[in-house]
Amino acid sequence: MTPTRNPLHPSTLGRVGRARQTLVAAAVATALGVFSVPAMSADTADLQGLQNQINKLQREMDRMKAQQAQQAQQPQATPAPTAAAKPASGGAAAPTFMAGPVKVTLGGFVELMVIDRNRNESADWASNYNTGIPFPNSHNYYVSEFHLTERQSRVQALFQGPDNETWATEAYIESDFGGAGGTANYNESNSFSPRMRHYFADLTYKPTGSNLLFGQLWSLVTGNKTGITPRGENIPLTIDGQYVPGFNWLRVPQIRFTQKVNDMITAAVSVENPAVLVSGTAVPGTIFNNPGAGNSFSPPNGGAFASNNVTLDYLPDFVAKVAIDPGFGHYELFATERFFRARDIITGQQTNAKSNATAFGGNLILPVVPKIVDFQASFLGGRGVGRYGSAQLPDATINPDSTRGLEPLRGFSALAGLVVKPDPALTLYAYVGEEQVSKASWTVTAGGKTTNYGYGNPLYDNTGCFVEGGTACAANTSRIVSGAVGGWWKFYSGFLGNAQFGLADTWLKREIFSGKGGDPSTNINILMASFRYYPFQK
């Protein structure tokens, strides 16, 4: 910062004796760093008036020094480093302005996305990597999908409050236009309108490296680039709003505490908003989500799958993570614990049934060629992990034994990727991912009637999956595999901001559990292009 020009000139001090002049010069030199003062004559001056003037000047200098110190302590402007906000490298800091003591940094982009799927999902800007991939029994299997959309365009603002050597605080807000209306939920992200992607505040206590955060942002299971820093997550560079299968993420309300142990190790624990993905045959008399005021809780409606999926969890999801930055690469280990609940509402045997699900995972980034080629990988395995994956496989199914309630399903997700930056204006990437889930099934005979329950039951009927218009197609997904390639080209960067073009091609295969008629599979190819303008980033 350039120092403010000294408004004081030795001539304003009057003409005093050389001894007095030396004293004044020393005082001024000490306060302002001025070490040479023009010679002054020995004329007599009013010492009391001179003293008053010196005191006034001293107060002015103290005020100037305090103002300079305050400006030096203001936090440096940083762009909001979300995945979509900076898909390519080389972005400069966004412009900022002061709102009182708060520094405001604006961000976001305007996007026109081009979508071309060889099978029709009617999924707009976020693909359905599971049930949306049609089988030959669906008319959509035989028709492609092409349209344009602007709904992933985003607005962002970062607010950094005044800080000092002890405390620092910030708040961040990011929104897009992907609200879902009547089917909105918290399954993987908040889709209620107006849609908030991120909305959080955090407070850092600098002497101990402690940080308390509350609001909505990426789940703690999502990997970071270094440490465990909000707005520093390692997000796939794909165009699709659902990213890529194998990527583990949520954007949900949470409370998080992070502790920096030393320069290499950071630990955190997060308490996150719950929601259970349940699939399989509904069990009359058992409820696991809120079907809304228009539906009855009485059998046979008990067990109905409500579209908004407000599940009956009795505790939040817990995530604990440790991140290690040894100087080469970034490594993370984490664990999740979830708590499910269902209720038997049959008269005379009303009871709650609780279950829990535990899983473990990890993330890593390796700089194969520093600043040019990065390799990344992630894994999550255990029970109740479907919610965290981009393919949205189920977490649990309904056990016909009302004392068991929801039966957590075992599964895993894995992702490997390569990011190459041959030029500051060009970023290329490739990802391969997989998500799997186990089956749990029961066959119950009561009153002379046999009913099949669970997920992946081998007696479910898949015979209609092969014929257009066929209705017998249980199609319980067992596995999703995918591969994606693409890149971003920043073709303009200057005083107008920056403009980028992205191109991505993703291929997916959907496999189902075997049932009557076999275990057919289906696939889809998704081609996307993106034109983005970032007015606040060069």
Tell whether 134 and 275 lie within a shared domain: yes
In a domain, 448, yes or no: yes
Tell whether 53 and 131 lie within a shared domain: no
State the Cα–Cα distance between residues 283 and 448, nearest whole angstrom: 17
Tell whether 203 and 61 lie within a shared domain: no
Q: What is the pLDDT of residue 40?
A: 43
Q: What is the pLDDT of residue 73?
A: 47
Burial of 529 (0-12, 13-18, 19+ CB in 10 A): middle
Nearest alpha carbon to residue 220 among 310, 90, 320, 75? 320
Residue 9 three-state SS: coil
Tokens read off for 475: 């199609």
Characterize the bridge pairing of strands 317-324 and 96-99. Answer: unpaired
Contact 256, 270 (CB under 8 A): yes
- In tens digits, what is the pLDDT along the chain, a chain of 538 residues? 444 444 444 443 343 344 344 434 444 344 334 333 334 444 444 566 666 666 667 666 766 665 565 555 444 433 433 333 343 333 445 578 999 999 999 999 999 999 999 999 999 999 999 999 999 999 999 999 999 999 999 999 999 998 899 999 999 999 999 888 777 888 999 888 889 999 999 999 999 999 999 999 999 999 999 999 999 999 999 999 999 999 999 999 999 999 999 999 999 999 999 999 999 998 888 888 875 444 444 444 455 566 678 889 999 999 999 999 999 999 999 999 999 999 988 867 889 999 999 999 999 999 999 999 999 999 999 999 999 999 999 999 999 998 899 999 999 999 999 999 999 999 999 999 999 999 999 999 988 899 999 999 999 999 999 999 999 999 999 999 999 999 999 999 998 999 999 999 999 999 999 999 999 899 999 999 999 999 998 8
Tell whether 63 and 177 lie within a shared domain: no
In a domain, 352, yes or no: yes
Residue 306 three-state SS: coil
- Total tally of structural domains belonging to the chain: 2
Tell whether 174 and 260 lie within a shared domain: yes
Characterize the bridge pairing of strands 477-494 and 497-512. Answer: antiparallel
Residue for token pair 């709003």 = 241
Tell whether 106 and 56 lie within a shared domain: no
For residue 36, the tally of other CB atoms under 10 A from its CB is 7
Q: What is the pLDDT of residue 339?
A: 98
What's the CATH number where 363 sits?
Answer: 2.40.160.10
Tell whether 62 and 119 lie within a shared domain: no
In a domain, 4, yes or no: no
Tell whether 154 and 198 lie within a shared domain: yes
Q: What is the pLDDT of residue 535?
A: 95
Tell whether 139 and 249 lie within a shared domain: yes
In a domain, 3, yes or no: no
Q: What is the pLDDT of residue 59?
A: 64
Enclosing domain of residue 351: 96-534
Helix 18-32 with 47-73: angle, nearest 10 deg: 10
Tell whether 14 and 120 lie within a shared domain: no
In a domain, 87, yes or no: no
- Chain centroid to CA 239: how far? 15
Tell whether 149 and 239 lie within a shared domain: yes
Strand partners, 259: 210, 267
- What does pTM read for this prediction? 0.81
Q: How far are the Cα atoms of 23, 174, 200, 227, 291 from residue 30, in angstroms, in the given order?
A: 11, 49, 46, 43, 75
Contacts of 62 (CB under 8 A, 6+ apart): none
In a domain, 483, yes or no: yes
In a domain, 517, yes or no: yes
Nearest alpha carbon to residue 160 among 208, 110, 254, 231? 231
Tell whether 322 and 268 lie within a shared domain: yes
Contact 415, 235 (CB under 8 A): no
Last residue of a domain, one of 58, 73, 88: 73
In a domain, 385, yes or no: yes
